[in-house]
Amino acid sequence: MAMLSHYSISSPSLKKFIYPSKPTSKITHYRCYTKLVMNFQMMNSISLSTSSSSSSSTGVLQQVPGLNSTEMDRVLEPIFERYSSKAIKRNGKGTAIVWFRNDLRVLDNEALYKAWVSSEVVLPVYCVDPRHFQTTYYFGFPKTGALRAEFLSECLTDLKKNLMKRGLNLLIRQGKPEEILPFLAKEFSAHTVYAQKETCSEELTVERLLSKALKRVQLTLAPQRSSSQGSTSSPSLQLSVEAKCSVRGVVKIPTSLAPPPNIEDWGCFPPIEQLGLRSQKISKGMQFVGGETAAIGRVHEYFWKKASVNLTFIFRTSLRLRASMISTVKEKPNKLILFKSAVVLTRALCKQNLLRVYKETRNGMLGPDYSTKFSPWLASGSLSPRIIFAEVKRYEEQREANNSTYWVVFELIWRDYFRFLSMKYGNSIFHLGGPRKVEQRWGEDQRLFESWRDGCTGYPLIDANMKELSATGFMSNRGRQIVCSFLVRDMGIDWRMGAEWFETCLLDYDPCSNYGNWTYGAGVGNDPREDRYFSIPKQASTF
């Protein structure tokens, strides 16, 4: 990786470049006008959570999930039970292999379920593929940064633990799946390898090579179900699909699975130094803990446990309370009335679960709770989106259904949307001209790019977001839109440089969502509205 430069965008000529004569108010709330192909196959999912009090400070380390271990066991056990089943009929024979990819979970794991019902013995396997630790395609950044590698390692440790609780284990081997799996299939006389199907070219190539190498052993890939195969951009499509589609239920995995085959060394994820990475400690901002247990903990915390400290909400409620008191007592409230209003307000706040106010808070940038923070777990598959969906529905039945509860589901549809886009447009989502094959000249000024990458542009909003990304592996959605617009619109840099840097750093990196959003932001996606400009001063003052 090139050395970071400390170049700062402060010279008048650059400012002119950054603030072209165009009006600066072209903020585009792109989600409002581009409608989605609603499909809800929602393949992978995630979760997190931590301390029980809300904090909006970025100067402290905020761990997600924040339940202590005893509390964690107490609250998570019923959730794991809810999505598990006591007895399932099996009539299969022989051995089946489950090849874990981006579905690092036990709950709602279709491949694991299918392997279990179709065999007597199940062998779960994860391959640490060296290609994931090489460099990105165009600009040679590390394909997986240290923080994501550590997160992955935690996911695997947790997956192993959860499989062992059910009587299984996880075999971890370093190497290419198309070499390791055929060898294991032969050694254990497996009849089938079950796995989740992916959609992007690198993953598809591995599937093809594996299928070829397995020879007579069957490769069964849990399909990406699509309820709509037509156009992927028109609003009418969303309406028709939204009306017709349904989300399949959570696949219930038995609480007890058969013992695994007898293996002496089950292996583990290597220290990240062995993968050519340098361990990076997170000392500020958000710290995500990898794995299904943390993911489910975060869902519980975000939906059911934590109360939102939403300053706008407090402010508006105080004003309303004050106004109603003035109209009741016909004079300025005295101290007792103010005290009573504080009590009422505190009570009201306690009812403000984070989910209930998600739509109002989701564009925030500070602290753990302005949005769900499910994405790193979703991307690694430690959390199933269908579990999120089921929990939203449960919340709506037990507490309240409102715009915010709907909006979490709506955002998950975006995730599906980009996955379907990758299926429809193939490799063009990685190409400079994007799916629409837009011809445009882009710059590759290394100095400008490095100032963006290192958070040294001189624009605090950009710099803070980029530093947060490097330090924690996470950036808010609003932040991502703003830094993307700045790189491609203001700096005129090849959008793929930004996309590949995100690929290196993001804990929640997912090729479909990342390249889908970048092509979108760069105006080369399949969205008919091309100019998505975010004015930095306006964004800074609004958010």
> Can you say which residues are annotated as belonging to the binding site for FAD?
358, 371-375, 411-418, 508-510
| Cβ closest to ligand FAD, residue 147 vs residue 379 | 379
Between 345 and 432, CB nearer to ligand FAD: 432
- Give the sign of the dihedral formed by CA 276, CA 280, CA 285, CA 288: positive
Q: Which residues bind ligand FAD (CB under 6 A)?
A: 362, 371-375, 378-379, 408, 411-412, 414-415, 418, 476-477, 480-481, 484, 502, 506, 508-510, 513-514, 517-518, 521
Can you say how many angstroms the Cα of residue 264 is from the centroid of all Cα atoms in its chain?
A: 35
The smaller minimum CB distance to ligand FAD, of residues 260 and 367, is found at: 367
Q: Residue 295 belongs to what H/E stretch?
A: helix 292-300
Residue that is written with structure tokens 């993307």 in the block: 484
Residue corresponding to tokens 């603030």: 19
Read off the DSSP letter of residue 23.
-
Residue placing its CB nearer to ligand FAD in the complex, 190 or 448: 448
Structure tokens at 458: 């001189």
Identify residue 517 by its one-letter amino acid code: N
Yes or no: say if 156 and 269 are a contact pair by the CB < 8 Å rule.
yes
Q: Cβ closer to ligand FAD: 49 or 118?
A: 49
Q: What angle do CA 275, 279, 282 make, to 5 degrees?
A: 140
Residue with tokens 């409002």: 32
Antiparallel, parallel or unpaired: β 285-288 and 61-64: parallel
Cβ atoms of 389 and 396 within 8 Å: the answer is no
Which residues share a beta bridge with 96? 122, 192
The DSSP secondary structure of 107-164, one letter per residue, reads TT-HHHHHHHHT-SEEEEEEEE-GGGGSB-TTT--BSS-HHHHHHHHHHHHHHHHHHH
Residue 477 sits at the vertex; the CA angle it makes with 146 and 350, to the nearest 5 degrees, is 105
Q: Find the shortest distance in angstroms from Cβ 369 to ligand FAD.
A: 9
Instruction: Tell me the angle at which helices 477-485 and 495-505 cross, rounded to the nearest 10 degrees.
Output: 150
The count of C-alpha atoms lying within 13 angstroms of the C-alpha of 473, restricted to the half-sphere facing its C-beta, is 28
Q: To the nearest whole angstrom, how small is the minimum distance from the Cβ of residue 370 to ligand FAD?
A: 8
